[in-house]
Chains A and B, each alone.
Chain A
Amino acid sequence: MLIHRGGSLPGSLALRFHPTILKDLTICQPVILVTGTNGKTSTANLIADLFMQAGKKVISNRKGDNMLAGMTTSILAKTHLNGQLEGDVIVLEVDELNMRHIVKQLPVSTIVVTNFFRDQLDRAKEMEQLIQSIEKSLNDYEGNLILNGQDPNVWRLAKSCQKAKVFSFGVSLQGQGFKSEAAEGKFCPVCGHALAYDFYQYSHIGQFHCTHCDFKTPVNIDAFVQKVDGQNFVIDSQTLHMPFHGLYSVYNCAALYAVSQLYDLTKQVQTTLDQAKSPAGRNQHFDLQGREVVLNLMKNPTGANEVIKVIEQDTRKKTLFLLLNDREQDGTDVSWIYDAQFERLNHANISSIYCTGLRAGDMALRMWYGGYEGPIQLVNQLSDALNQSDGLTYIITTYTAILPTAAWLERMAS
């Protein structure tokens, strides 16, 4: 083995001395990439688990290190000195902006695209430019393309990637559907006319059609969840159980199922879900000597809105800690907190709010302008908030704080 350490440093070094190092490896294993704005860590982990359940050796970047250097590290760690890889399949979560680099360097067999939301605009540029860069990199791609058929931003790839073999996944209408919550999906990406929706599932995800051209949600979705009942869902006429909550998780499961269909592993889906663990900070529960603490990640308005819904649904009295950082991976622009619907928390039985992080003042100000009438306090760190409050506590943090916070809570719980 060349490298044993994780993280992105070994990959960074390798790339500096040999920028096309991945290209020169002998890779004959299937390479599956998962990209999109939200759900890519969860989905990529599930797909990796799926192959492991089938007894395969999987090479993956499980820690969510999804930039080129991190992926290079993951692959080199499983590479012998003769350039051969030790593993049966490669499953990588890929940052949207890194897609165009990684598809050039690896013999990709399958790409899964979860969704495209407004995310960290300062880094990811505007949506349109981002999607165009991905479309361009996939111009000659001839592999499988597994797409969310209910996200117009994603489904447009079916039109632009003419040589790819396209598969779709989706979920039938759940409940009443929602009014659109986000700015995406107003105009047809093909002809520019207005898009119309038969229903919205959440944000701009739903059943759409263009009012002018033939661009629309596919009529027959390949991996289609027919019914959702709590943590159970029906797909392909069988009922499966997932250990997650939330509609967005059902979409991840639908994507997983689509991959299982392609690789003839549908029998392994339930066992995959049985042993699945949520990644850090996705509704992660901790028991701190009897005090219940729930940790969630927020990185963009859509993700934050889904977390807000989960908190709203828990009607018990609770305390809320909000941690807002503005480092590069958090997004250096904090404007997005005004696009998320924090007002919904005004009536979610929250007795007090503690704000911390590099931009704690902005977060507190957001809650104040949003009309929250309970006490809002600024604290230097989460442990101060924990000491000053008690009872059920929800913590929401931005990206750079999620792993340290999860580790801290784990220590406190043990």
Chain B
Amino acid sequence: MKLAWLYHDIMDLYGDKGNILTLQARAKAHQIDLQVDTIGIGQKVDLCDYELIFLGGGADREQWALLPDLLSRKDNIQKAMDQGSLFLLICGGYQLFGQYYLTADGTKLEGLGLKNYYTTHSSQRCVGNCIVEANLDGHSFLLVGFENHGGQTKGVQTPLGKVLTGHGNAHYAGFEGYYDGQVLGTYLHGPLLPKNPALADFLLSKASGQPLQNVPLPPFVTEARQALLDRYQIKEKTK
């Protein structure tokens, strides 16, 4: 199985490496042979070769610097989507797949336009721990993370999940992220996957098209999650 890590050297602001480490660790636990390819600006590649495509978050300057390169890949991304590649997008990556980003000075920065949602700037950032109850293709997840975004994403018809603590897509939005069975966009850092290895398993299973056996979770996951869940008096759900 192949994973494309887009702009690994630019969109790497919030410990996104942890997401890749988790996918690698879980692939190993499930005996899936996972190849991770990093893809930088200007690098020629056919994204259709990848079952899973990851794009993380960056600072504003970095994010806009890579935009021309990303836009030049639009047709290829659409094609990969048509062929069934699964996309995991975090923060900036999530925003870039939408229609546009309206900046503080009113400039409309064009996104890939592959999804209907759009993002507007707010000087009041949404910052803090964020816990989300999600249901993906009938599987329920309690996602534990941290959000830190000025962008307010609106027009999401199919959110990733319900916010139990935190903001979500916009100030007090109540709902977080985007999921349509093929693209998962979210503002959750922490990073997302290390404390939510069940989600990593779900992504690996879906991308590889294979059901996965139950294998033990990494050590310390329970304690790491519990530290936050206890703080907000949220109970861990058993599947």
Contact = CB atoms under 8 A, between A and B. Distances in A.
A359 B221 CA distance: 11
A125 interface: yes
A143 interface: no
Contact of B21 (A118, A332, A338): A338
Contact of B220 (A183, A186, A358, A364): A364
Contacts of A359: 224, 227
A333 B189 contact: yes
A333 B218 contact: no
Interface string B211-239: 00000001111111111000000000000
A118 B148 CA distance: 14
A360 B226 CA distance: 11
A335 B191 contact: yes
Interface in B89-124: none
A329 B18 CA distance: 23
Given A128-B60, A183-B62, A192-B65, A364 B224 contact: yes
B151 to A, nearest CB: 12
Contacts of A127: 59
Interface string A359-399: 11110111011100000101000000000000000000000
A183 B59 contact: yes
B12 interface: yes
B15 A338 contact: yes
A187 interface: yes
Contacts of B10: 183, 186
A186 B59 CA distance: 11
A325 to B, nearest CB: 11
B146 A369 contact: no
A171 to B, nearest CB: 25
Contact of B13 (A183, A334, A361, A370): A183
Nearest to B13: A183
B203 interface: no
A14 interface: no
Q: Interface size class for chain B?
A: 35 or more
Q: Interface size class for chain A?
A: 20 to 34
B16 A338 contact: yes
Contacts of A248: none
Contacts of B127: 122, 332-333
Interface of A: 118, 121-122, 125-129, 183, 186-187, 192, 332-339, 358-362, 364-366, 368-370, 376, 378
B236 to A, nearest CB: 13
A337 B17 CA distance: 10
A254 B61 CA distance: 30
Nearest to B145: A335
Contact of B146 (A183, A333, A339, A358): A333
B227 A361 contact: yes
Given A122-B148, A192-B65, 13 more contacts: A121-B14, A122-B128, A186-B9, A186-B65, A332-B128, A335-B15, A339-B15, A360-B227, A361-B223, A362-B224, A362-B227, A364-B219, A366-B18
Contacts of B62: 183, 186-187
B125 A125 contact: yes
A364 B15 contact: no
B59 A365 contact: no
Interface of B: 9-10, 12-18, 21-22, 25, 58-62, 65, 125, 127-129, 146, 148, 189-191, 194-195, 218-227
Given A183-B10, A362-B195, A369-B218, A332 B224 contact: no
Contacts of A365: 194-195, 218-221, 224
Contact of B194 (A118, A336, A338): A338
Interface SS majority for chain B: mixed
12 contacts: A183-B62, A186-B9, A192-B61, A332-B129, A338-B191, A339-B14, A339-B15, A360-B223, A361-B221, A361-B224, A362-B194, A368-B220
B237 to A, nearest CB: 18
B200 to A, nearest CB: 11
Q: Which 7 A-B pairs have the closest CB atoms?
A: A338-B15, A361-B224, A361-B223, A338-B18, A335-B15, A364-B220, A365-B220
Contacts of A183: 9-10, 12-13, 58-59, 62
A333 B227 CA distance: 13
A333 B190 CA distance: 7
Contacts of B223: 360-361, 364, 378
A369 B22 contact: yes
Contacts of A128: 59-61
A338 B128 CA distance: 18
Q: Which of B61, B125, B219 has the most CB of A within 10 A?
A: B61
Contacts of B61: 128, 187, 192
B217 to A, nearest CB: 10
Nearest to B123: A129
Contacts of A126: 13, 59-60
A370 B21 contact: yes
A30 to B, nearest CB: 35
A368 B221 CA distance: 10
A344 to B, nearest CB: 14
B14 A335 contact: yes
Contacts of B191: 335, 338
A378 B220 contact: yes
A335 B224 contact: no
Contacts of A129: 60
Nearest to A355: B220
A105 B194 CA distance: 45
A361 B225 contact: yes
A96 B1 CA distance: 45
Nearest to B14: A335
A121 B148 contact: yes
Given A186-B62, A187-B65, A369-B21, A335 B190 contact: yes
A42 to B, nearest CB: 27
Given A126-B60, A338-B16, A376-B219, A358 B189 contact: no
